[in-house]
Amino acid sequence: MFHYAMKAAADSKLQLIDRIRKFEKLRMRPIIELFLSGFEDIGRNRDKLIKNCSQFADCEYLVHFPIFEIKNKYIYDAYNEEEKKVKMLLDFCEEIDSKVLIMHRGYGFDRKMGKREAEEKFLEKVALWDKLAKQKKVKILIENYGFVWLPDSLGKEYVVSPLDHFFPWDILKFNEDVNRLNLNYIGIILDIAHAVISSNMFNMLKKHPELSSDRRFGNIFGGDLEKKDLLETNDFIFDFIDYFHISDSFIWYKEDEISSLRKYLYTENLPIGEGNINFAEIFKKVIGSKVMVMEINPKNGNHNNNVSQLNAIEWFKKKFN
Q: At what angle do helices 115-136 and 83-95 cross, to 10 degrees?
A: 40
- Count each helix (H run) and each strand (E run) in the chain, helices first: 10, 12
Please write the tens of the pLDDT for every residue from 79-98.
998 888 899 999 999 999 99
**Per-residue b/e over 161-198, b at no fewer than 16 CB within 10 Å?**
bbbbbbbbebbeebbebbeeeebebbbbbbbbbbbbbb
Q: At what angle do helices 115-136 and 168-180 cross, to 10 degrees?
A: 50
What ranges do the domains of the chain cover?
2-320
Contact 197, 264 (CB under 8 A): yes
Average of per-residue pLDDT values in the chain: 94
Question: Where does residue 27 rank: exposed (0-12), middle (13-18), buried (19+ CB within 10 A)?
Answer: exposed
Q: Which amino acid is at 88?
A: M
Contact 141, 130 (CB under 8 A): no
Point out which residues pair with 291 in neighbouring strands.
3, 243
Model pTM?
Answer: 0.96
| Pairing status of strand 68-69 against strand 74-75 | antiparallel
CA atoms of 252 and 264, how far apart (whole Å): 6
pLDDT for residue 199 = 98
Average pLDDT over residues 33-52: 89
Please write the tens of the pLDDT for every residue from 202-223.
999 999 999 999 999 999 999 9
pLDDT at 300 over 90: yes
Band the pLDDT of 266: cuts 50, 70, 90. very high
Architecture of the structural domain at 2-320: Alpha-Beta Barrel (3.20)
